Amino acid sequence: MQRTLDEVRRDGFEALRQHLGKADMIRFLQQFETGYGDYSKGRHQWVDHISLEEVQRLSKPEPQQQ
């Protein structure tokens, strides 16, 4: 009999906790946050309105002030 996804998820969390400990398990899982929104749509909202010259200007490091 195949296990449910909930059972697999629960057992996976338990295996991580046993092997890594609670704190490192959380640190490991935080690497895989899925985020939200539509990246492509948001990117077009600003990229479509900026020139190549502006991108080049913004990408240059600012001179150091002494």
Average pLDDT on 26-42 reads 86
Q: Specify the higher pLDDT residue, 35 or 50.
A: 50
pLDDT at 66: 66
Distance CA 36, CA 30 (A): 14
Q: Specify the higher pLDDT residue, 17 or 62.
A: 17
Going by C-alpha positions, the residue among 48, 15, 39 that lies closest to residue 29 is 15
Q: Is the pLDDT of residue 19 over 80?
A: yes
pLDDT at 60: 83
C-alpha dihedral, 57 to 63 to 65 to 66, nearest 10° = 180
Q: Is the pLDDT of residue 57 over 80?
A: yes
Highest mean predicted confidence (pLDDT) among 13-22, 31-40, 41-50: 13-22
Q: List, in order, residues 6 or more apart from 20 with CB less than 8 Å away.
A: 28
